[in-house]
Amino acid sequence: MPPLWKKLRKNPFAAAVSSAEAPAKISVRGLDKSFEEKQVLTNIDLDIERGESMAIVGRSGEGKSVLIKCILGLLTPDRGEILIDGHSLDSDEGDALRASIGIVFQGGALFDSMNVWQNVAFRLLQQGTAKRKAKQRALQCLNAVELPAKTAELDPSELSGGMRKRVAIARTMASDPDILFFDEPTSGLDPITTDLINELIVNCTKSLGATAVTITHDMSSVYKTADRAALLFDGRLVWQGSKRAMAGSKDAHVRQFVQGKAQGPMTRNSPQENNTHASNTQASNTQARQGAENYDSASENRKTS
């Protein structure tokens, strides 16, 4: 039986603007963010088009989560402009825009005091949807992420890591989002479960007709889920381009990240600490690189900001 993600309804908010006249779905201009003395993001420019799937990659601590928290309005930038569908979250359209966004947080962030279906239906119940209807929608979304109906009554503590990720994705889908953010959706999962979750991300995003932004260290996730990728280093987006361009890129930062090498421009000033990280990412990225070797680099679009 085909999964129910094929039957999920597209958010009507997406249809409000025809693609011919639409601004970028997400537009970031000149974004700076610091915490006290620490400058985390510097002059970030990023456009994500309607229906596009964008991966934001970079080493741990580079500011990937801070960037999406700024886009989501959870953190206030020091400088710069962030527009969604051409509007700021602070504008009159802010509430409608917020309602059109779904987030799968790093780690899943399920509520331990609720069972699985209540977690999935959380936003609907908050909005006043009748319990029976909300549960029905939760079961539909659990089916969409290929979890059996009996999972609905389990507590989060009874789930494996892969099941938690699926429930978190189902929860995000339940309110028909127009934009999906995934923060490290496959971290801590085995390679096969990682691939299954990546497939779910692709299928669910397409079925909703949504725009997707995925933060990841894992190149196999980039190759599987993204149309384009942007590399964050030293607070700046040092490269943006198609995943094909990334796989074949001659850019030294991209090559170091894709190949998971200890030596390179991203570890020049801190070799001791970074050797550990680089060797950890090397194993997972080697396999992904092999699968990507067929990609060409014709559409590379190098950007420095």
Ligand X SMILES: Nc1ncnc2c1ncn2[C@@H]1O[C@H](COP(=O)(O)OP(=O)(O)OP(=O)(O)O)[C@@H](O)[C@H]1O
Task: Give the nearer residue to Mg ion in terms of CB position, either 182 or 223.
Answer: 182
**Residue carrying the six token digits 């206030």:** 76
Are the CB atoms for 116 and 156 separated by under 8 Å? yes
Both structure tokens of 223: 């190759």
The least CB distance from residue 277 to ligand X, in Å, is 10
Task: Give the nearer residue to Mg ion in terms of CB position, either 65 or 143.
Answer: 65
Which region, judged by CB under 6 A, interacts with ligand X, from 2-10, 14-22, 61-69, 254-262?
61-69
Within residues 148-177, the interface with ligand X by CB under 6 A covers: none
What is the rounded distance in angstroms from the CA atom of residue 193 to the CA atom of residue 241? 27
The least CB distance from residue 183 to Mg ion, in Å, is 6
65 counts as binding Mg ion under rule CB under 5 A:
yes
Count of CB atoms within 10 A of residue 41's CB?
25
216 counts as binding Mg ion under rule CB under 5 A:
no
- 63 CB-near residues (< 8 Å, 6+ apart): 33, 40, 41, 232, 235
The H-assigned helical ranges of 145-242 are 161-173, 191-208, 219-225
251 counts as binding ligand X under rule CB under 6 A:
no
- 211 CB-near residues (< 8 Å, 6+ apart): 25, 26, 48, 49, 50, 51, 52, 53, 54, 178, 179, 180
Task: Give the nearer residue to ligand X in terms of CB position, either 69 or 228.
Answer: 69
Task: Give the nearer residue to ligand X in terms of CB position, either 63 or 241.
Answer: 63
Torsion sign over Cα 39, 45, 51, 53 = negative
With CB under 6 A as the contact rule, the residue among 27, 42, 53, 65 that binds ligand X is 65
253 counts as binding ligand X under rule CB under 6 A:
no
40 counts as binding ligand X under rule CB under 6 A:
yes
Query: How many chain residues are in contact with ligand X, going by CB under 6 A?
Result: 11
What residues line the site for ligand X (CB under 6 A)? 35, 40, 58, 60-66, 106
